[in-house]
Amino acid sequence: MANEPNIALVPVQGDLSVQTAPALKRTLQSLIDDGTQRIVLNMADVPYVDSSGMAVIFGALRAMRDRGGLLSLVNVSPNVMHMLKIARFVDLAPVSLAGERRSVPELDPSAKPLWRTTFPVCTCELCAARERIEHLARTMPFSNDAVFDLMLAAGEALGNAVDHTCGEGILATASGYPDRMVIEVADCGGGFDPSEQAARCLNQTDERGRGIRLMRLLVDSVSIVPRPSGSGMLVRLEKLV
């Protein structure tokens, strides 16, 4: 949809050096020129970054910030993390080590939210729904980057709901707790097999699983289950403060 934010997961392979940096620069510039709001660089296969590679990453970060977007690095090796710390890149953008994942404690069923709101979502007003979630997130002690990621993840969940239903009967519920914000998006569609979607998530070329992969990059916990009553699915997102 035209009003959906554009998110890109970019795999980087091999040394990011004077020889390979220009190709990455072209890829990132193309995404930025196309209006991509969120770029995640998967650094799992990058053992080394030199000054040329660092310049490309810094340049892309500045360009994204100038346009109100965000760039981050995930699956960074300890050696590359050391380089990023020396360059002070970690002070400017989200960076996570390979294998690093926040542990999300199970929410006590008896815990009462600080606040909770539920509202219907019209397919022609997804932008307004994202903005409402963003406004609610800003009442929590999140960084601007965390709010941005939560809003984008919610956009993916809303997009999935539209994809799996006729576009009616979509409800969003946002709840604030002392340690997290929870967003639930419920639809009344025909549903799908969560195990099948999990398999699709492993297929990097399958667009049907792309949204789930992105949500899991953007928030701390994602669950997708059939609605407890009636037809359709329930997507639950949790972001720790």
* Residue range 92-119, pLDDT digits in tens: 999 999 987 778 999 998 999 999 999 9
* CATH class of segment(s) 115-240: alpha beta
- pLDDT per position as a tens digit, 138-165: 999 999 999 999 999 999 999 888 877 6
Residue linked to tokens 């939560």: 150
State mean pLDDT over 19-38.
96
Q: Is pLDDT of 193 > 90?
A: no
Residue 211: CB atoms within 10 A of its CB come to: 20
Q: Which two tokens stand for residue 40?
A: 């995640």
Q: Do domains 7-97 and 115-240 have the same CATH topology?
A: no
**Three-class SS of 179-236:** CEEEEEEECCCCCCCHHHHHHHHHCCCCHHHHHHHHHHHHCCEEEEEECCCCCCEEEE
The band of 3, judged by pLDDT with boundaries at 50, 70 and 90, is: very low
Provide the residue ranges of all domains of the chain, joining segments of one domain with +. Answer: 7-97, 115-240
Taking only the tens place, the pLDDT of each residue in 44-65 is: 999 999 999 999 999 999 999 9
> How large is the average pLDDT for residues 209-221?
86
Predicted confidence at residue 211, as pLDDT, reads: 82
Backbone φ and ψ for 43, nearest 5 degrees, come out as -100, 20
Q: Is the pLDDT of residue 30 over 50?
A: yes
Q: Of all residues in the chain, what percent are helix, strand and coil, respectively (each to 5)?
A: 40, 25, 35
Say whether pLDDT at 19 is over 50.
yes
CA distance 34 to 216: 24
Q: Is the pLDDT of residue 191 over 80?
A: no
pLDDT tens digits for range 198-208: 455 444 444 45
pLDDT tens track for 117-136: 999 998 888 899 999 999 99
Whether the model pTM is above 0.75: yes
Residue-wise pLDDT tens digits, 63-89 = 999 999 999 999 999 999 999 999 999
- The CATH architecture assigned to 7-97 reads 2-Layer Sandwich (3.30)
